[in-house]
Each structure stands twice: as structure tokens, then as C-alpha cells.
Chains A and B, each alone.
Chain A
């Protein structure tokens, strides 16, 4: 069984247990016909064999588009997540059950595609030809269990090291990505690190557009100094910015 299928199976079990523990009670607030349909579907899913890809997929569709969708926006209790999802799966808890269903389905549908495990183990890299062409970057994230001698900053520094290759010319990116990720860590469990790529923060490549960063990388202009939070008299000889 592929790692993606294992993750999808754990998510399917998590969703099912949520409905058994919480949904069964909460559905009583809904009209009687909805209650009956929900209960029948729940009983049918309890009987399914979640080692089968087809069963996992059916549950995902039920959560996203079926009668389970009544609880689409329900948050997943932290304790349930910890009990049902193995640490070694290194998944970030979805916002709610709907996202868990969509994630499960994407794992099933892309089971033979790109392996998200590769992203965890490989350092961050910008797309090929990124200097001459602003290739779109897709948002992504992964969760990692830090080793004893690792800090979030040391892991992030290594992961985003490739962004420091042009620092001598005044072009960076690594420190930005370290601080953006560090700012989110207080929300996470001790010893774990959730790592988000630039696109997750709504950052896209600015290169390939005849702008400052491209001009520097093409050695058409040199940056002598950049001062952040400079005083108002820094630019006394500035020329007509718009």
C-alpha cells in the first residue's frame, strides 16, 4: 500500500469515527428524513473494509457531497486527530471535516502521481528557469518531527538554503521563508514543525518581468544597499517614483 493510500485510509477512519462519536448525536437536530438517511449511510460505512481503495473513496465522496456534508464545516477535535492519525504520517490537521474529505480524495486520485513524501525529504527548490520565467508555484506544506538537535530555525534554514544562493548580489528569500514559517509555530505541537512553501503565503515568483530582481540577477543593475525601516531623508536624491 502506498504512503498516500495509507494516509487516505487513516483520514477515512478519522472521518468515520467523528460521525460515530459526534455526528450520530448531532444529526438529531436535523429533519427526520435526513436523520434516517444519515443513520443508514453511517451503518453502511461501518461495515466497509477500509483496506480497500474503493471504500476509502466512497467515504470521501460522502463527506464532500453526500449526507455527511451536513457536517462539512465541523472542526476535528485535537484529541481525536492525535488518536486516529499516526505521527509518522506527518500530516497537518485539516481545517474541518470537509477539507479532510477533499484531502482524502486528492490522495486517492493522485496516488500514482507526485509523491508528497519527496517534498518532505527534498530541500525547497524554485522551478527550473525561474530567473527568466515566473513559473506559478502551487501552495504546499508538510509536517516534520524535529530531531533532538534540530530547532525550527535550523531545519527551515537548511530547507530553504537554495534561496540564499544570490545573497552576495542582494537577492535573498531564505530569511523571509524562515520568519514566515516561524511566525506560525506557536500554533503547533512541541517538537513538530509545519513547513509552508512561498505560495502558501500567497507569494509568487516576481522574476522574468523586467523588474528590479530580474535586472539584478541578469547583472543589469547592482544593489549597493537596502535599508528596511530607513529614515525619511534616505532618498534625498530619489527620482520620481510613482
Chain B
């Protein structure tokens, strides 16, 4: 399942900025109550944002929550996490997220 994530980037500085969104970057849905899926981006993206400009970009990811509904234009956030698996196949991601590893 592929999910599109739209991002509006604002570069307030006087210099052009290059933004990197690496594979695995995780975006969360702003409220758990929405009951929809969070997303891990599947490939590396680079965007140049001109000085004092905004751009809108789309990146594509896979679902992290098999048991949740597909998100449709819901507000989100970037997270400080990346999915560290080597395989971005949807079944592989779901297998990892539904069978968490623990030290217990």
C-alpha cells in the first residue's frame, strides 16, 4: 500500500536550502484518534528550497499500521525516527511492526 505525504517547506533564510528526506523517515498522523495509518518513506528524496520561499512536495511511503484505516488528507508531523529495516516491502514492514523485538 502506497501513501502519499504532502509537505510544505518554508525556507526563511537568505540562502537556498537543500532538504533531504531519507528512506525510512517516519511521518505520524497528528492524532491517534483518527484511527489511520502512520507512514515510512520508501526512497531517498532531495529538494532544493530557494531563499525566502515555500515549496510543496510529495513523498511516497508505506503503511506502518496494518490494523488501521488508510489516511485521506489528514494532518501529520515528521518524527525523529526512521524505519531501520532493510526491506520496505509492505508485508515485511507489517511483520516487523506486529512482532516487536524486545530484550525481555
Binding site for B on A (CB under 8 A): 91-92, 94, 103, 106, 116, 126, 130, 138-142, 153, 163, 167, 170-173, 175-176, 178-180, 182-184, 196, 198-207, 209-213, 215-217, 220-232, 234-242
Contacts and interface: CB of A to CB of B under 8 A. Distances in A.
Interface of B: 3-13, 17, 19-22, 24-32, 36, 38-39, 43-49, 54-59, 64-68, 70-85, 96-98, 100-104
Given A212-B19, A235-B6, A226 B47 contact: no
Given A176-B26, A196-B102, A234-B56, A212 B20 contact: yes
Given A173-B28, A175-B32, A242-B45, A205 B81 contact: yes
Classify the interface of chain B: helix, strand, loop or mixed.
Answer: strand
A198 B27 contact: no
Contact of B101 (A153, A183, A202): A202
Given A176-B26, A242-B45, A227 B104 contact: no
B75 to A, nearest CB: 7
B24 to A, nearest CB: 7
A242 B44 contact: yes
Contact of B97 (A183, A215, A216): A183
- Most chain A beta carbons < 10 A, residue from B30, B55, B81, B84: B81
A228 to B, nearest CB: 4
A226 B75 contact: yes
A235 B58 contact: yes
B58 A213 contact: no
B72 to A, nearest CB: 5
B29 A239 contact: no
Contacts of A222: 9-12
Nearest to A231: B73
Given A183-B68, A201-B96, A228 B81 contact: no
B19 A215 contact: yes
Contacts of A167: 77
A228 B32 contact: no
Contacts of A235: 6, 56-58
B17 A227 contact: no
7 contacts: A172-B79, A179-B29, A180-B64, A184-B100, A210-B20, A221-B9, A222-B10
B49 A203 contact: no
A171 B78 contact: yes
A8 B30 CA distance: 41
A176 B81 contact: yes
Nearest to A208: B80
Going nearest first, the 10 A-B pairs with the smallest beta carbon separation are: A230-B6, A229-B71, A235-B58, A234-B6, A172-B77, A200-B100, A206-B82, A176-B28, A141-B102, A228-B76
